[in-house]
């Protein structure tokens, strides 16, 4: 079987980097989009070490023309795109009253419009072939906003709305292109070391924290299955469900707990650089600094990915119990 051609935005670090590794392990050829060349080159070496081909494409996804040019380059050099993963993001941590209009615009352009531009470029190539998968890397924050991340939460909500509209259009057209959004929990990625922050302490993901490989496995799985949306981790499902049932209660709970929950007890590093406008040099890899706290396994996600085997096992167990009961009755 021919190797799949996959495009990953935000491929240089964090979830994107873990996703590149996961697709490479399957033998995929990968188009690598991000701003930082150091991380992209390291990702290329990892793909090639796994036996695949990789194309390094330094790209700011906030530039629609640059995204379109990158998509054209992938198809020219690697072949028709089978899977497009929208993952690139930037953020600003701090109360909305402290964030500037320019910073909100930048977060929106990268974290929301970058997904729109990537989706449009993918569709231009997938529609004539009537096949392909587009994976939107989302978050529990696409449904439930939290304090200190208003620009990012707004962008994730926007991705959710855009994807729902597009999905309905694809269904109307009878398209076989699959569009799936994967809603993520808190993840141990390098973003907390370089995110723009107005917080007095070093930022952190809200516990419980998961390793980026959990997210990457879900993204690869989603690209292969017909689910419209996938929640990863029990906290994601609980946050989405809670927001449907008791949103006002969550407002007060988050106001009371999430200022502290998003900060460590350490001050920011002196001379700390952020990646809002320019990439931070160097190869950050996939993991952040929270390895000791992060979980490498999600029972909830495992159950979703293995629900067929679980159903078969439960069915076999029920049949066995019924058979034993009937045998005992005969005796």
Beta-carbon neighbour count of residue 211 at 10 Å? 21
C-alpha–C-alpha distance, residues 6 and 30, integer Å: 5
Annotated catalytic, 152?
A: yes
Lateral strand order in the sheet of 83-86: 54-58, 29-34, 5-9, 83-86, 133-137, 178-183, 229-231
* Beta-carbon contacts of residue 39 (< 8 Å; ≥ 6 apart): 11, 12, 13, 17, 279, 282, 283, 284, 285
Identified catalytic residue from 115, 143, 152, 210: 152
Q: Could you identify the residue written with the tokens 């208003």?
A: 150
Pairing of strands 229-231, 178-183: parallel
Structure tokens at 160: 């959710």
C-alpha–C-alpha distance, residues 120 and 117, integer Å: 5
Pairing of strands 29-34, 5-9: parallel
CB-neighbour burial class of residue 43 (10 A; exposed 0-12, middle 13-18, buried 19+): buried
- In degrees, rounded to 5, the angle at the alpha carbon of residue 178 between the alpha carbons of residues 312 and 183 is 75
Point out the residues that are catalytic: 152
């Amino acid at each position: 079987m021919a190797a799949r051609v996959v495009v990953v935005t935000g491929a240089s670090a964090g979830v994107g980097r873990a996703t590149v590794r996961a697709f490479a392990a399957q033998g995929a050829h990968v188009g690598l989009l991000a701003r930082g060349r150091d991380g992209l080159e390291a990702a290329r070496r990892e793909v090639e070490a796994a036996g695949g081909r990789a194309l390094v494409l330094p790209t700011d996804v906030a530039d629609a023309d640059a995204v379109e040019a990158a998509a054209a380059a992938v198809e020219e050099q690697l072949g028709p795109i089978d899977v497009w993963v929208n993952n690139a993001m930037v953020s600003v941590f701090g109360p909305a009253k402290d964030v500037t209009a320019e910073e909100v615009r930048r977060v929106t352009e990268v974290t929301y419009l970058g997904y729109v531009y990537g989706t449009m470029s993918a569709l231009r190539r997938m529609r004539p072939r009537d096949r392909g998968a587009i994976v939107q890397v989302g978050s529990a924050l696409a449904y439930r906003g939290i304090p200190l991340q208003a620009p990012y939460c707004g962008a994730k909500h926007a991705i959710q709305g855009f994807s729902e509209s597009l999905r309905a259009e694809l269904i109307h057209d009878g398209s076989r292109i699959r569009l799936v959004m994967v809603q993520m929990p808190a993840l141990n990625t390098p973003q907390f070391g370089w995110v723009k922050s107005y917080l007095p302490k070093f930022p952190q993901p809200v516990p419980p924290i998961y390793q980026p490989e959990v997210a990457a496995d879900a993204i690869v799985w989603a690209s292969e299955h017909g689910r419209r949306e996938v929640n990863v981790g029990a906290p994601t499902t609980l946050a989405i469900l809670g927001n449907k049932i008791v949103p006002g209660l969550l407002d007060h709970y988050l106001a009371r707990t999430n200022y502290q929950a998003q900060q460590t007890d350490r001050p920011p590093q002196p001379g700390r650089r952020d990646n809002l406008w320019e990439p931070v040099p160097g190869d950050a890899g996939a993991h952040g600094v929270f390895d000791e706290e992060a979980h490498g396994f999600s029972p909830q996600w495992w159950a979703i990915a293995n629900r067929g085997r679980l159903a078969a096992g439960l069915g076999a167990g029920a049949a066995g119990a019924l058979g034993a009961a009937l045998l005992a009755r005969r005796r």
